[in-house]
Structure 1
Amino acid sequence: MSSIFSPVFLKPPRPYGVTASYATIRGLRQPLPKSPDVDEIDPSDNDFILSILRANPSLRDTKSYLASFGHREPERAKSSDLPDIATILPPVDRRENELPKIAAEPLKTSPVISSILNPIYRRTALVKLQGPFTDKQLDSIARGMVYLEKLGLVSVMVIEHDKLARGDEGERATIIEETMRVVGVLEAHGAKARPVLGTVVRLGPMPCGHQDSISHDVPSPEAHVFPPDLVPIRSSLRAGEIPVLPPFALDSFCRSVRIDANDVIAALVRGMVQAAELDGSLQGKQPRDPHADYSEDINLIPLRLMIINREGGVPSYARSGYPHLLINLSSEYDFIRDTFEPSWLKERPSALSNLALARMCLSYMPPTSSAIMVSHRSPSSLIANLVTNKPAVSSSLPHALLQGNRKLTPETPTLIRRGQPIQVIRNLANVNRAKLTHLLETSFGRTLDVAPFYTRLEKYLDFVIVAGDYVGAAIVTNEPGPGQGFPPISYLDKFAVLPSHQGDGTVDFLWVALHDETYGLGHPFSVNPNGGKEGKGEGRDLVWRSRADNKINKWYFDRSSGHMRMGPWVLFWCDAEKRLKREESQRADSGLSYVESWEAERLEQWADVVTKLPSAWK
């Protein structure tokens, strides 16, 4: 994602009669309804097609999904594996000329829907079913698993029984009975399922000489799997069956013992990734698509980790215990553990252990993979996550909207990604200019006028937020006011993310950090340890502009406090949230829907400054 900020010379707007759309308008903060239990939900609400439609995937989401699951053109007809826009949305159904016409106006099916409903390339997911669940709850979960299989994601499920203590009498028989119960419910919904009761996992860390080549900064699993151990799972997947495993492992005496399901899943993730890498190395110099025939082979690399429980997601300090929406493990993991309230353990006793499991698994899975922690009350969230790979509600939306959004409930799922480290740099000498230049030019598709651009930053830079190894950046400057006595303007000069990282959560991670350092400063939810001010200080209004025809303006509209059109440009701003809250309290329930006279004067000052800024491009 990127936007263009180049100069424009227009007359300042009139101080009166200017309208703006505020994010914190009247009616947003309504009491949150209590989520109904799954037993109270009408089965029609879980309809497969409706679940896909509720996901509301964007064009980018659709392209990403089809790249993993959808139909690909033969190489002789199209060299690229990634479909372009014309491939996804052709004006005429291609199969029209291949089938005999039986009516003058036959009903045509969208190729997008056809690809979603008839996936050719199958991927795998690891699922932790953290029960026990009632029959109706398990019925709803099984329905979701069947829907995911229809979408091309085949689950490898591991059963956990929280209420059955280790060493209880009849423990093994109870676990096996629960495994068979899950298999029976899956088959009752039309899926093929296979109980894998033989031990696949071996207890203990991976022996020396079998370690993977990837260096990890997270603990290794307490169990391990060798590629030959995966034969039962391979066999099940090749037969189109969902393997369901109890949490058993072989100990050093070759006894089958019950272990924590987290250890089983972590061992399976690493083992399946290693087995897939071995498969690729045995294919020789001529690579073969492992998805060419699902009946013969399947890509074992897990695409998703799903943790289905009765608790929901990870509680957040920023939302009074409501779940995190999106977690950046690379920069937030330690802080989330440090700010976890002991009182939350009563309602969510496994939240931290599941977060640790997600961190361990995602360290082995591809960077595009994600983990989701979801309550049994939200089975349709799994479908939305598969199609869009995004949280139910964007974490970068204004907090006023998040607090009043009816989608945000105690059962809201938490999406977890490996993410990127976030750092705030306030000294230009500490910025890697070569990498920042490459990021800006690649994101904007233009050539940077390097010397004057950095000369201006040396004079006016406030800070630069960098994501990862310069895969994204936000540059904020302190622009002088229009005259003496006017405070400097906090201006978002550049906001850019490499195209290869658009859609993987980097945009939201970057914007949340931008919020914490500018207009959200001073709030307890802005204390994220990203190298910045960690919530200390007073928030400042953030201003930026974008061309009126910029495709990402809708994204800006959703995240700004207001906007004002200036001919071919749109001026956006985010009000300092602490001051905005005071203004709202003075107006009681009247809300803030229009620009007051004092605000119009402020907009005039902003427009006078930002329209005179020099271009950064050649």
Structure 2
Amino acid sequence: MLASGRSRLQASRSVLPKQCSHTTQASNTFKAFYATVRGLRDVAPPEDEPDPAANDFILSILKANPSIRDTKSYLASFGPRALPTRQKTGIPPDLTLPPLPTTASRDVTQLQQTSPKPSPVISSILNPVYRRTALVKLQGPFTDRQLESVTRGMVYLEKLGLVSVIVVELDNWVRGEPGEKTAVLEETMRIVSALEKQGARARPVLQAAVRLGPKPNDTPPPEGGFDVPEAHTFPSDLVSIRSALRAGEIPVLPPIALDSFCRSVRIHSNDVIAALARGMVEAVGSSGAAGHKTGEPAAQSEEEVDLTPLRLMIINREGGIPSYARSGLPHLLVNLSGESEYIQETFHPSWKTTHPTALSNLSLARTCMAYMPPTSSAIMVSHRSPKSLIANLITNKPELSSSLPHALLQNNGKLTEHTPTILRRGSPVRVVRTLADLNKTKMKALLEQSFRRTLDEEAFYARLEKCMDFAIIAGDYAGAAIVTNESAPGHAQPIAYLDKFAVLPKHQGDGTVDFLWVALHDESYGLGLSFSVNPNGGKQGKGEGRDLVWRSRVDNPVNKWYFERSTGHMRMGDWVMFWCDAEKHLKTEEGRRGSAGLSYLESWETGRFATWADVVPKIPSSWK
């Protein structure tokens, strides 16, 4: 019995080290998995121990639900690139090695055949990618739990190739209070510690990276319309940031700058971020790196990070910019070139209490976007929605399209006070009402590139001379919507027909489509409603809305997009006819009936389908 008990004790002792070793190995694997971005890609936990953080990361990607176009766009920015060929060193070409023994050759062949091949999807997510930078304004104060959530989002973005350059800001900081600088540095170190707890490598950049005051010999920007940064930076000031990025570390900067006496003084983080946005772009341009003007990434070495900011992220407690059109819920997508001033004019006084920094952040985004590449974007997001950053990075779109029907957006559970606001540089949008105001050459190029067909120019413009109602032009003919008046037999009022809706291929995906459709809504079937005041010209929301009708080929891939924005559709042979009901008619009828609700067919709808079905198919083609 004693011998038997002793043998069991020895057996248990022999097992115990293995269990401890297994636990230690799992712990080390967990820590190694979070050690660096490269570790996140290269080191995987054992198959029998699924890592919850890795699962959460992949689920966040899947929830973004990227389309094929979104995926191609992401890979174009972050996909691996061919590196410059290097001179290979090692075995001279004239040196021949003896053949391997037969057994060794057989073992190598068997090992190659039995080695598991990773899934292409997993490989595309976890393999090293082209690394680019994002400027992040971390606008607290945040609790430890909130900061944990935010920093986890930063780590996820780093996995996907977007490295954050973080500038710290606290809303409760008071300028000039005793111990101000100490409080700034303590908060900086707190964020560094929070990042490291999430497995990232972070570096506090405590020396000033920007200089107070305008840049010497600076000239007014050619574009105008934005606030010039009140600080500046030179390429030599960015050495610490470059060093941190090359070392695989996230730089965290306090909002300090050097004044004219070379003293470190605290300034607002908006001035630091605006100066960095300009300075980082100019630093890349001065170094001669390709792609800094167009936003197209160039080949880079394994240690290098593209310093040109691709994203501006404002993470705060307020969320996005409230919109009068959504009863105070956030704007989904903002055209900075055409909507900034109007947003400021329609900003409700009560929002200055609930969203005190919304307008200053809007101004910051406009300034930064003026220097950043046209493909870049900004996002204003609450700390409650850190995973929205992943969706925006992959798709470069808002969570919900701003061009969806207003009623659908208002009743959508996804639209909450924490829904992020996406801001794009965009293009000015204007409304013209005569053919003489159109540039026929540019319009022809736009239509032919968009539809990939040859325009029958003479017949097309001869027709518009007779029946054009208005045209909406985005930018320098980056997109256009043309609406005509089609006469209907037996009806005094003509049909509002969307003759052309076109966007240049290079602008498809940059928000131009949504900007154009929202302006079309405000000028046609949405006219007359309080939230349909187009700030870009036209009738300024005054008038009566009209039903808008258009047709599309049954095999047109854009039809899915039309289905989501139309009130209804009807198949007519090789065509699909779409329409959008005049929203003011529906609102008026709904108010008149009260609790009785709308009927299936209102009096003003009687006979309109038959009229449309008679007129629309007879409209001549514009193509040769």
Say whether the fold is shared (TM-score over 0.5): yes
How do 1:10-409 and structure 2 match up within 5 A? 47-72=56-81, 100-102=112-114, 109-111=119-121, 113-208=122-217, 215-280=223-288, 291-295=299-303, 297-409=304-416
Partner Cα distance (1:211, 1:237) in 2 = 31
Partner Cα distance (2:533, 2:496) in 1 = 20
Q: How many pairs does the alignment contain? A: 546
1:413 alignment partner AA: P
How do 1:459-608 and structure 2 match up within 5 A? 459-481=466-488, 483-584=489-590, 599=605, 601-608=607-614
1:577 alignment partner AA: E
CA distance 1:56–1:99, shift in 2 (3 Å) = farther
2:112 alignment partner AA: P
Partner Cα distance (2:153, 2:263) in 1 = 34
Contact residue 249 and residue 258 of structure 1 kept, 8 A: yes
Partner Cα distance (1:99, 1:586) in 2 = 78
CA distance 1:332–1:46, shift in 2 (3 Å) = farther
**What displacement does 1:615 show?**
0.9
In structure 1, stretches of 5+ residues that fail to align are 1-42, 77-96
CA distance 1:515–1:213, shift in 2 (3 Å) = closer
Partner Cα distance (1:304, 1:577) in 2 = 36
Partner Cα distance (1:67, 1:250) in 2 = 38
| Higher RCO structure (Cα 8 Å, ≥6 apart) | 1
1:65 alignment partner AA: Y
In structure 2, stretches of 5+ residues that fail to align are 1-51, 86-108
Partner of 2:97: none
2:114 alignment partner AA: I
Contact residue 128 and residue 307 of structure 1 kept, 8 A: yes
1:424 alignment partner AA: V
Partner Cα distance (2:348, 2:155) in 1 = 36
Partner of 1:449: 456
Partner Cα distance (1:292, 1:333) in 2 = 36
Partner of 2:439: 432
Query: For residues 121-169 of structure 1, what are the alpha-carbon distances to aligned partners after superposition, in whole Å with 9 as ceiling and x for unaligned?
Result: 0000000000110000000000000000000000000000111101111
Please, what TM-score do these two structures have when normalized by structure 2? 0.83
Partner Cα distance (1:448, 1:591) in 2 = 46
**What displacement does 1:61 show?**
0.6
Contact residue 209 and residue 237 of structure 2 kept, 8 A: yes
Contact residue 233 and residue 276 of structure 2 kept, 8 A: yes
2:507 alignment partner AA: H
**What displacement does 1:609 show?**
0.3
**What displacement does 1:591 show?**
7.4
Query: For residues 64-86 of structure 1, what are the alpha-carbon distances to aligned partners after superposition, in whole Å with 9 as ceiling and x for unaligned?
Result: 0000111346799xxxxxxxxxx
**What displacement does 1:485 show?**
3.1
Partner Cα distance (2:446, 2:599) in 1 = 37
2:355 alignment partner AA: R
**What displacement does 1:503 show?**
0.3
Contact residue 465 and residue 473 of structure 1 kept, 8 A: yes
1:606 alignment partner AA: W
**What displacement does 1:224 show?**
0.4
Partner of 1:420: 427
Query: For residues 23-70 of structure 1, what are the alpha-carbon distances to aligned partners after superposition, in whole Å with 9 as ceiling and x for unaligned?
Result: xxxxxxxxxxxxxxxxxxxx9899211111111111111000000111
Indicate the SS of the match to 1:342.
coil
Query: For residues 445-466 of structure 1, what are the alpha-carbon distances to aligned partners after superposition, in whole Å with 9 as ceiling and x for unaligned?
Result: 1111111111110110000000
Contact residue 46 and residue 380 of structure 1 kept, 8 A: no
CA distance 1:468–1:377, shift in 2 (3 Å) = same
Greater Cα offset, 333-342 or 236-245:
333-342
Partner Cα distance (1:400, 1:269) in 2 = 38
Greater Cα offset, 298-307 or 113-122:
113-122
Partner Cα distance (1:46, 1:358) in 2 = 33
CA distance 1:368–1:253, shift in 2 (3 Å) = same
Partner Cα distance (1:478, 1:182) in 2 = 60
Contact residue 71 and residue 394 of structure 2 kept, 8 A: yes
Partner of 2:95: none
CA distance 1:266–1:593, shift in 2 (3 Å) = farther
2:187 alignment partner AA: E
Indicate the SS of the match to 1:346.
helix
Contact residue 156 and residue 244 of structure 1 kept, 8 A: yes
**What displacement does 1:115 show?**
2.2
Partner Cα distance (1:582, 1:45) in 2 = 52
Partner Cα distance (1:420, 1:552) in 2 = 22
Partner Cα distance (1:314, 1:412) in 2 = 10
Identity between Structure 1 and Structure 2 (%)? 68
Contact residue 486 and residue 497 of structure 2 kept, 8 A: yes
Indicate the SS of the match to 1:615.
coil
Contact residue 429 and residue 536 of structure 2 kept, 8 A: yes
4+ residue runs over 6 A deviation: 43-46, 586-598
Q: CA RMSD in A?
A: 2.5
Partner Cα distance (2:431, 2:262) in 1 = 52
**What displacement does 1:282 show?**
10
Please, what TM-score do these two structures have when normalized by structure 1? 0.84
